[in-house]
Amino acid sequence: MRDFSQDHRWLSINTATVRKSRGVELPLPEIIEACARRGIRAISPWRDQVAAAGLARVSQLVRSHGLELSGYCRGGMFPAVDTAGLQAARDDNRRAVDEAAELGAKCLVLVVGGLPGALQGKAAHKDIAHARAQVRDGIAELLEYAKNVGMPLAIEPLHPMYAADRACINTLEQALDVCEELDPARSGALGVALDVYHVWWDPKLQQQIARAGGERLLAFHVCDWLTPTADLLNDRGMMGDGVIDIPRIRGWVEAQGFAGYSEVEIFSTANWWQRPHDEVLDTCIARHRTVV
């Protein structure tokens, strides 16, 4: 297992972590500058942040600073109630693949979606098996496109508390079942993004990480699970402030040959988004060395 205590060369910042500084939206170019100033070598930006700053400008900034992208957030949201909805998702996901390629991302992260309408508070139906079938079909179709572009797709299993509204792929085992069905050859075109927040509780985690193997482990995300957790979405904790044994999980992942970045992804309405982003980034660096 790599020693992270001496430097932060394997730290990546998911830009949602500093989406706000002192409660105010922080533009992506400023985030990039602040990361580069600290010798942070990689980021993972969100599509809305890229769109706000302009894809060409972000691409130029990334290149001029020699930044890597540990991933691009995000594609997915496949389920829909009708053909038009499925088609819209397909078109949007292809654009996401193209943007990820333009930015040189290591993978496009897929948050696959749940019951159509649930995110808006009104699910169109309760048939999660049907949503899962649409997700499978959506990934299968996108995979063909992404292979041609050369952009790996990383399915992110989301915590079961998001099954209704954000992603109906909720365990690593389930994500790997999809990978095996759609890419049995382990070509590298399809794998998983493993976020400790979503999977730390899983009694089969170690076993399934071994099943994934290095070919399927495309991204590794860190933050922490707080007790109590005040909000289902935006109360992700800083590494070390919660109950997740991050080094243990990283050890399992690295034992499979994963040698990429540890990407910090924190959403925190009440805490970190209220602080100056400089403090947040400095804390990420410190915790990366001490508790990741």
What is the rounded CA–CA span in Å between residue 149 and residue 54?
21
One of 87, 187, 207, 229 touching its own copies (CB under 8 A):
229
In the complex, minimum distance from the CB of residue 245 to its own copies, in angstroms, rounded to a whole number: 4
One of 14, 44, 70, 170 touching its own copies (CB under 8 A):
170
What is the rounded CA–CA span in Å between residue 168 and residue 247?
27
In the complex, minimum distance from the CB of residue 100 to its own copies, in angstroms, rounded to a whole number: 27
Nearer to its own copies, 25 or 245 (CB): 245
Residue 222 makes contact with its own copies by CB under 8 A: no
- Structure tokens belonging to residue 119: 């995110």
In the complex, minimum distance from the CB of residue 111 to its own copies, in angstroms, rounded to a whole number: 15
What is the rounded CA–CA span in Å between residue 143 and residue 135?
12
In the complex, minimum distance from the CB of residue 276 to its own copies, in angstroms, rounded to a whole number: 26
Binding residues for its own copies, total number by CB under 8 A: 33
Residue 55 makes contact with its own copies by CB under 8 A: no
DSSP class of residue 165 equals T
Neighbours of 190 (CB within 10 A): 29
Contact track, its own copies, 235-274, x by CB under 8 A = -------xxxx-----------------------------
In the complex, minimum distance from the CB of residue 224 to its own copies, in angstroms, rounded to a whole number: 10
Torsion of CA 162, 249, 103, 143, to 10 degrees: -60
Q: Tell which positions 110-169 bind its own copies, by CB under 8 A.
A: 115, 118-119, 121-123, 126-128, 132, 159-161, 163-165, 168
Strands 20-21 and 24-25: antiparallel
In the complex, minimum distance from the CB of residue 174 to its own copies, in angstroms, rounded to a whole number: 5
Residue found under tokens 């954000």? 166
In the complex, minimum distance from the CB of residue 227 to its own copies, in angstroms, rounded to a whole number: 5
The DSSP bridge partners found for residue 11 are 262
- Structure tokens belonging to residue 23: 């409660």
Omega of the bond leading into 247 within 30 degrees of 0 (cis): no
Q: Tell which positions 71-90 bind its own copies, by CB under 8 A.
A: none
What is the rounded CA–CA span in Å between residue 246 and residue 200?
8
What is the rounded CA–CA span in Å between residue 277 and residue 165?
29
- Structure tokens belonging to residue 28: 């992506």
* Residue numbers at the binding site for its own copies (CB under 8 A): 115, 118-119, 121-123, 126-128, 132, 159-161, 163-165, 168, 170-171, 174, 200-203, 225, 227-229, 232, 242-245
